[in-house]
Structure 1
């Protein structure tokens, strides 16, 4: 007969409780594998919860952790920032989990995942920064300083969309989020995708950091027009340029991610500050993540200075400001 001492039982119980706590807090990353029509697909617990080929790869939390998020956005909670206490790693990784089965941060190997994080978050930092030339810590340390446009000059209601995305009485569709969304039609489209009533309640974006990150990742992962690539597909090399793209100097490069997201507001105008600021954040983040800017490629791949815009427009896109 085996005798188990009470102390051993206590230890076993504590271990079991600790394991359950880890699972409850999203730490269960057990990889499950099966074949679907001859193709290997996987899940990885809470973070990659749909059967997907991408879930067979490393997930974002495997190579991008809390301390790195804190390094990239080190000044976001300083007293002079405008969204103190709003943005955090948990909100980001929870938002990312919705898109990891679709390839966000999980396409290719670890290096490609790290580079995509630096690219996406470089865009985010540039669009939400309150840094300036002599700011403490340098101008690139102030990403996620904002979660909304501070002094909107208009309500951003486009009545030409009144049948599909009608403006809600009293709602204002000014810039909000990690890649700021503008205009009723962009709030409507994002809300449909994320199953949130953003058309009637655009303020949800500035009230919920996870939703704000989800909207930004959705924009990164989703083509603005059906026949065009998403920024994600451009960056990871899923997109194959047409002859017209090549003639327009657009290719599977970081520069083209700026083009598809912001068009003529950033690209095709030579070496302008809005473009250079995004590039600088990307390179800075590559350095901070231990990859090094040498892996970013030559300047003509980083730049969109001479590219023709994907979407010439007189109306700002979802994150054009």
Structure 2
């Protein structure tokens, strides 16, 4: 009979006479669970055990997580073997080595994955549900840390506290089903600083600015893809570090009309989603669609700042410049497109009970 050397998750050092069946019996009370131990250790064969060999003994699938736990999965899209983990540090032997492909992270939690044991090597941080951790970290994790996110928003704050479901549905009565309120609110959880920094006036202006720009881009949230299909094949930059995939196009999709292979690639890397191979997710999955828009909004577009920073430091006009300045700005007079964005912004700020501020034009 194998000697139990701790409680799962733990590491078992093989001793004289140990078999996978006996080890499973010792830790799980069920020798038939030896197949799980085998699978958790690279499908090791029973006859190949060697004295001194270390085996990962993981927990049997736990019940559904609560708001204090994260869940890591072997496969993308939250499939395969899973582990439920609370706040703490998990090294090799406590988690399944080199196997994590997707992860669920409750609001207010943070998970840091490490490529090496003892929390070393490359690292990547997640603060929201991620159906694919990305090519750079797929099946690479050897240790991880679960902790409370320092930047978690206070309960009830942020965009959802500024724009209610009723207000949103009133603003966009003819919206496409892709642009659901639930999808938008879920997406905002990944970016807790969105509409959650500065004064009440600044937060409302950011909400209005975001809504005005996505309303302009999508015909008041009616269009999920760029209407000019003739342009679809032309959004491929051959010099990008994110090569175009044969048979895929990177035309405008979603609330911000995400375009070009380099934006799909960079956005997908940041979100842990393979958007180069699956660009259609931006126009078919509500949460992913809004999350890509928020990625663009919250990310600096060098040499320009992020729209999030611009609305609070430079005014609404700079958000136009960041999104489509090459076409709509610097023409000597306010372009028709820019004027439409400004009108929408003024409409939404009025509805939210705040003044639009200065520097509306680009």
Q: TM-score range by the shorter chain?
A: 0.5 to 0.7
User: Which residue in 2 is equivalent to 1:99?
Assistant: 191
TM-score normalized by the length of structure 1: 0.64
1:225-264 aligned within 5 A: 225=302, 227-237=303-313, 252-264=314-326
Which of 114, 117, 135 is matched with 2:204 structurally? 114
Aligned equivalents of 2:152 and 2:206: distance in 1? Answer: 14
User: Which residue in 2 is equivalent to 1:65?
Assistant: 164
User: Which residue in 2 is equivalent to 1:296?
Assistant: 356
Query: How far 1:157 moved relative to its partner?
Result: 4.2
**Root mean square deviation of aligned Cα:** 2.1
1:16-95 aligned within 5 A: 47-49=107-109, 51-53=149-151, 55-56=153-154, 58-76=157-175, 83=176, 85-95=177-187
Query: Which 4+ stretches in 1 moved above 3 angstroms?
Result: 45-50
Aligned equivalents of 2:260 and 2:288: distance in 1? Answer: 17
TM-score normalized by the length of structure 2: 0.57
User: Which residue in 2 is equivalent to 1:136?
Assistant: none
Gap runs ≥5 in structure 2: 1-65, 68-104, 111-148
Which of 221, 225, 229 is matched with 1:144 structurally? 221
Task: State which structure, 1 or 2, has the greater radius of gyration over its C-alpha atoms.
Answer: 2
User: Which residue in 1 is equivalent to 2:118?
Assistant: none
Deviations 1:184-215 (A, max 9, x none): 11111111111111111111111101111111
Query: How far 1:122 moved relative to its partner?
Result: 0.5
User: Which residue in 1 is equivalent to 2:350?
Assistant: 287
Gap runs ≥5 in structure 1: 1-22, 25-44, 77-82, 130-142, 238-251, 305-321
Deviations 1:223-252 (A, max 9, x none): 121x43111111123xxxxxxxxxxxxxx1
Distance change (3 Å), C-alpha of 1:179 and 1:159: closer
Query: How far 1:264 moved relative to its partner?
Result: 2.1
Aligned equivalents of 2:342 and 2:292: distance in 1? Answer: 22
1:259-270 aligned within 5 A: 259-269=321-331, 270=333
Contact 1:161 1:185 in 2 (8 A): no
Q: Which has the higher contact order (CA 8 A, sep 6+)?
A: 1
User: Which residue in 2 is equivalent to 1:201?
Assistant: 278
Contact 1:72 1:288 in 2 (8 A): no
Contact 1:119 1:254 in 2 (8 A): yes
User: Which residue in 2 is equivalent to 1:34?
Assistant: none
Aligned equivalents of 2:316 and 2:260: distance in 1? Answer: 26
- Paired residue total: 219
User: Which residue in 2 is equivalent to 1:271?
Assistant: 334
Query: How far 1:62 moved relative to its partner?
Result: 2.3
Aligned equivalents of 1:234 and 1:60: distance in 2? Answer: 17
